[in-house]
């Protein structure tokens, strides 16, 4: 019977193994506009372009993504993203390139 908790634990880890990295999510959804700055989208890793946006706070940025802003449609190109995924994508795009 000790094997049952081990199997259950492994089953819970399967989604983690298949989870996309933030960079992979960026390349699938955000890259289209944020790589080149289409329609004045702040470019990825352009800290200065992101600075005034970040000053508004993460809640305001999250609201802009979820509801759309200017040329960005609601949800951006990642309509299935959770709030946490959106926040991780914003942090990734607004941080200096590593």
Q: Which residues contact 66 (CB under 8 A, 6 or more apart)?
A: 74, 75, 83, 86
For the chain, give the mean pLDDT.
Answer: 86
Query: pTM for this structure?
Result: 0.79
Residue 34 has which token pair?
């944020």
> 29 with 77: CB under 8 angstroms?
yes
| CA end-to-end distance (rounded Å), the chain | 47
Mean pLDDT of all residues in 52-56: 97
pLDDT of residue 79: 87
| Residue 81 Cα to chain centre, angstroms | 7
| pLDDT, tens digit, 9 for 90 and up, residues 2-44 | 554 444 444 444 344 457 899 999 999 999 999 999 999 999 9
Q: Which CATH architecture has domain 20-94?
A: Orthogonal Bundle (1.10)
Which range is least confidently modeled, 18-22, 79-83, 87-91?
18-22
- Measured CA to CA, the distance from residue 49 to residue 78 in angstroms comes to 21
The DSSP symbol for 68 reads -
């Amino acid at each position: 019977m000790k094997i049952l908790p081990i199997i259950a634990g492994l089953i819970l880890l399967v989604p983690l193994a298949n989870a996309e990295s933030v960079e992979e999510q960026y390349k699938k959804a955000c890259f289209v506009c944020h790589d080149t700055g289409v329609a004045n989208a702040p470019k990825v890793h352009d800290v200065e372009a992101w600075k005034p946006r970040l000053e508004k706070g993460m809640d305001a940025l999250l609201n802009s993504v979820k509801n759309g802003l200017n040329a960005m449609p609601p949800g951006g190109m990642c309509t299935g993203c959770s709030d946490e995924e959106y926040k991780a994508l914003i942090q990734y795009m607004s941080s200096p390139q590593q």
